[in-house]
Amino acid sequence: MWSYEKKLQYPVKVSTCNPTLARYLMEQYGGADGELAAALRYLNQRYTIPDKVIGLLTDIGTEEFAHLEMIATMIYKLTKDATPQQLRDAGLGDHYVSHDSALFYNNASGVPFTAAYIQAKGDPIADLYEDIAAEEKARATYQWIIDISDDPDLNDSLRFLREREIVHSQRFREAVEMLKEDRDQKKVF
Protein backbone atom coordinates (compact mmCIF):
# COMPACT_ATOMS: atom_id res chain seq x y z
CA MET A 1 0.00 0.00 0.00
CA TRP A 2 2.76 2.45 0.87
CA SER A 3 6.03 3.17 -0.76
CA TYR A 4 8.57 4.68 1.62
CA GLU A 5 11.16 7.06 0.26
CA LYS A 6 14.01 7.60 2.70
CA LYS A 7 13.76 11.37 2.83
CA LEU A 8 11.49 13.84 4.54
CA GLN A 9 8.56 15.32 2.65
CA TYR A 10 10.21 18.73 3.12
CA PRO A 11 13.69 19.48 4.48
CA VAL A 12 14.00 20.20 8.20
CA LYS A 13 16.77 22.51 9.36
CA VAL A 14 17.29 24.09 12.76
CA SER A 15 19.59 26.98 13.61
CA THR A 16 20.38 26.11 17.21
CA CYS A 17 19.62 23.82 20.12
CA ASN A 18 16.28 24.99 21.54
CA PRO A 19 14.50 22.59 23.93
CA THR A 20 11.76 25.13 24.67
CA LEU A 21 10.76 25.25 21.02
CA ALA A 22 10.94 21.45 20.93
CA ARG A 23 8.46 21.31 23.82
CA TYR A 24 6.04 23.52 21.90
CA LEU A 25 6.37 21.26 18.85
CA MET A 26 5.34 18.27 20.97
CA GLU A 27 1.81 19.67 20.68
CA GLN A 28 1.88 18.71 17.00
CA TYR A 29 3.52 15.35 17.79
CA GLY A 30 1.22 13.91 20.43
CA GLY A 31 -1.46 16.53 21.04
CA ALA A 32 -5.18 16.30 20.36
CA ASP A 33 -4.88 18.25 17.11
CA GLY A 34 -1.44 16.98 16.14
CA GLU A 35 -0.22 14.90 13.25
CA LEU A 36 -0.59 11.47 14.90
CA ALA A 37 -4.22 12.11 15.84
CA ALA A 38 -4.96 13.36 12.33
CA ALA A 39 -3.34 10.38 10.60
CA LEU A 40 -5.17 7.86 12.76
CA ARG A 41 -8.49 9.74 12.49
CA TYR A 42 -8.47 9.87 8.69
CA LEU A 43 -7.24 6.33 8.13
CA ASN A 44 -9.91 5.06 10.53
CA GLN A 45 -12.77 7.12 9.06
CA ARG A 46 -12.21 5.79 5.57
CA TYR A 47 -13.95 2.54 6.48
CA THR A 48 -17.33 4.26 6.91
CA ILE A 49 -17.09 6.91 4.22
CA PRO A 50 -18.53 6.68 0.67
CA ASP A 51 -16.20 5.18 -1.91
CA LYS A 52 -15.66 8.48 -3.74
CA VAL A 53 -13.97 9.96 -0.62
CA ILE A 54 -11.93 6.96 0.59
CA GLY A 55 -8.93 7.90 -1.55
CA LEU A 56 -8.88 11.42 -0.13
CA LEU A 57 -8.81 10.17 3.46
CA THR A 58 -6.12 7.62 2.58
CA ASP A 59 -3.96 10.21 0.83
CA ILE A 60 -4.22 12.84 3.56
CA GLY A 61 -3.92 10.29 6.39
CA THR A 62 -0.74 8.94 4.84
CA GLU A 63 0.64 12.46 4.36
CA GLU A 64 -0.02 13.18 8.05
CA PHE A 65 2.42 10.38 8.90
CA ALA A 66 5.00 12.18 6.76
CA HIS A 67 4.30 15.34 8.78
CA LEU A 68 4.70 13.35 12.00
CA GLU A 69 8.12 12.27 10.78
CA MET A 70 9.04 15.91 10.12
CA ILE A 71 7.90 16.98 13.61
CA ALA A 72 9.89 14.13 15.18
CA THR A 73 12.97 15.26 13.25
CA MET A 74 12.47 18.84 14.42
CA ILE A 75 12.15 17.82 18.07
CA TYR A 76 15.18 15.56 17.83
CA LYS A 77 17.34 18.24 16.19
CA LEU A 78 16.25 20.89 18.70
CA THR A 79 17.12 18.68 21.70
CA LYS A 80 19.96 16.38 20.61
CA ASP A 81 22.70 18.58 22.05
CA ALA A 82 20.76 19.81 25.08
CA THR A 83 22.12 19.23 28.56
CA PRO A 84 19.86 17.87 31.30
CA GLN A 85 19.84 21.38 32.80
CA GLN A 86 18.70 22.92 29.51
CA LEU A 87 15.92 20.33 29.27
CA ARG A 88 14.84 21.10 32.83
CA ASP A 89 14.91 24.84 32.15
CA ALA A 90 12.68 24.24 29.08
CA GLY A 91 10.13 22.35 31.15
CA LEU A 92 11.25 18.96 29.87
CA GLY A 93 12.79 17.65 33.10
CA ASP A 94 9.98 15.15 33.65
CA HIS A 95 10.25 13.99 30.05
CA TYR A 96 14.02 13.53 30.40
CA VAL A 97 13.64 11.50 33.60
CA SER A 98 11.08 9.18 31.98
CA HIS A 99 12.40 8.96 28.42
CA ASP A 100 15.91 10.45 28.24
CA SER A 101 16.17 11.78 24.66
CA ALA A 102 13.54 9.42 23.24
CA LEU A 103 10.48 10.95 21.68
CA PHE A 104 7.18 10.14 23.37
CA TYR A 105 3.67 10.87 22.17
CA ASN A 106 2.55 13.65 24.47
CA ASN A 107 1.47 17.24 24.04
CA ALA A 108 3.38 20.41 24.98
CA SER A 109 2.08 20.16 28.55
CA GLY A 110 3.34 16.58 28.91
CA VAL A 111 -0.09 14.92 28.70
CA PRO A 112 0.25 11.53 26.95
CA PHE A 113 -1.52 10.82 23.68
CA THR A 114 -4.88 9.09 24.00
CA ALA A 115 -7.20 7.42 21.53
CA ALA A 116 -9.92 9.76 22.83
CA TYR A 117 -8.42 12.37 20.47
CA ILE A 118 -9.58 10.36 17.46
CA GLN A 119 -13.08 11.25 16.31
CA ALA A 120 -15.25 9.06 14.10
CA LYS A 121 -19.03 9.47 14.12
CA GLY A 122 -19.87 7.25 11.18
CA ASP A 123 -21.78 10.04 9.43
CA PRO A 124 -19.63 11.05 6.45
CA ILE A 125 -20.52 14.74 6.50
CA ALA A 126 -20.12 15.02 10.28
CA ASP A 127 -16.75 13.26 10.08
CA LEU A 128 -15.54 15.53 7.30
CA TYR A 129 -16.55 18.64 9.26
CA GLU A 130 -14.55 17.22 12.18
CA ASP A 131 -11.62 16.79 9.79
CA ILE A 132 -11.93 20.38 8.57
CA ALA A 133 -11.89 21.58 12.19
CA ALA A 134 -8.84 19.42 12.95
CA GLU A 135 -6.93 20.85 9.99
CA GLU A 136 -7.83 24.42 10.94
CA LYS A 137 -6.75 23.85 14.56
CA ALA A 138 -3.45 22.38 13.35
CA ARG A 139 -2.97 25.36 11.01
CA ALA A 140 -3.56 27.78 13.88
CA THR A 141 -1.14 25.89 16.14
CA TYR A 142 1.58 25.97 13.48
CA GLN A 143 1.06 29.71 13.11
CA TRP A 144 1.34 30.25 16.86
CA ILE A 145 4.56 28.20 16.99
CA ILE A 146 5.96 30.27 14.11
CA ASP A 147 4.96 33.43 15.98
CA ILE A 148 7.04 32.49 19.05
CA SER A 149 9.92 30.85 17.20
CA ASP A 150 13.17 32.71 16.66
CA ASP A 151 14.58 30.04 14.32
CA PRO A 152 14.27 31.13 10.66
CA ASP A 153 15.42 27.74 9.36
CA LEU A 154 12.82 25.86 11.37
CA ASN A 155 10.13 28.39 10.50
CA ASP A 156 10.56 27.52 6.83
CA SER A 157 9.53 23.91 7.53
CA LEU A 158 6.74 25.05 9.84
CA ARG A 159 5.34 27.30 7.11
CA PHE A 160 5.34 24.32 4.75
CA LEU A 161 3.34 22.28 7.28
CA ARG A 162 0.95 25.16 7.93
CA GLU A 163 0.25 25.47 4.20
CA ARG A 164 -0.40 21.74 3.89
CA GLU A 165 -3.03 22.04 6.64
CA ILE A 166 -4.77 24.70 4.53
CA VAL A 167 -4.72 22.45 1.47
CA HIS A 168 -6.13 19.53 3.47
CA SER A 169 -8.91 21.71 4.87
CA GLN A 170 -9.82 22.83 1.33
CA ARG A 171 -9.87 19.25 0.07
CA PHE A 172 -12.15 18.17 2.93
CA ARG A 173 -14.46 21.11 2.18
CA GLU A 174 -14.68 19.97 -1.45
CA ALA A 175 -15.53 16.45 -0.28
CA VAL A 176 -18.32 17.78 1.97
CA GLU A 177 -19.87 19.63 -0.97
CA MET A 178 -19.62 16.54 -3.16
CA LEU A 179 -21.37 14.40 -0.51
CA LYS A 180 -24.04 17.06 0.08
CA GLU A 181 -24.82 17.09 -3.65
CA ASP A 182 -25.19 13.31 -3.62
CA ARG A 183 -27.38 13.45 -0.50
CA ASP A 184 -29.64 16.14 -1.95
CA GLN A 185 -30.20 14.44 -5.33
CA LYS A 186 -33.70 13.11 -5.82
CA LYS A 187 -33.62 9.36 -5.41
CA VAL A 188 -35.94 7.24 -7.54
CA PHE A 189 -36.49 3.60 -6.71
pLDDT digits (tens, 9 = 90+) for 129-155: 999 999 999 999 999 999 999 999 999
Is 59 known as a binding-site position?
yes
Q: Is 135 annotated as a binding residue?
A: yes
Distance CA(162)–CA(61), nearest Å, equals 16
Question: pTM of the entire structure?
Answer: 0.93
pLDDT greater than 90 at residue 2: no
Residue 35 marked ligand-binding: yes
- What CATH superfamily is the domain 19-182? Ferritin, core subunit, four-helix bundle (1.20.1260.10)
One of 27, 63, 64, 130 is an active-site residue; which one?
64
Mean pLDDT of the region 77-89? 96
Helix, strand, or coil (residue 112) = strand
| DSSP 8-state secondary structure symbol assigned to residue 185 | S
Assess whether 99 carries a catalytic annotation. Answer: no
Q: Taking CA 115 as the corner, what is the angle to CA 163 and CA 94, rounded to the nearest 5 degrees?
A: 85
- Residue 67 a catalytic site member: yes
Q: 113-136 burial, b for 16+ CB within 10 Å, e for fewer?
A: beeebbbbeeebeebbebbbebbb
Of 27, 63, 67, 95, catalytic: 67
Whole-angstrom distance, CA of residue 80 vs CA of residue 43:
32
Catalytic: 136?
Answer: no
AA identity, residue 31: G
What was the pLDDT predicted at 82? 96
| More reliable by pLDDT, 188 or 83 | 83
135 included as an active-site residue:
yes
Residues 26-50 have a mean pLDDT of 96
What's the whole-number mean pLDDT along residues 156-173?
Answer: 98
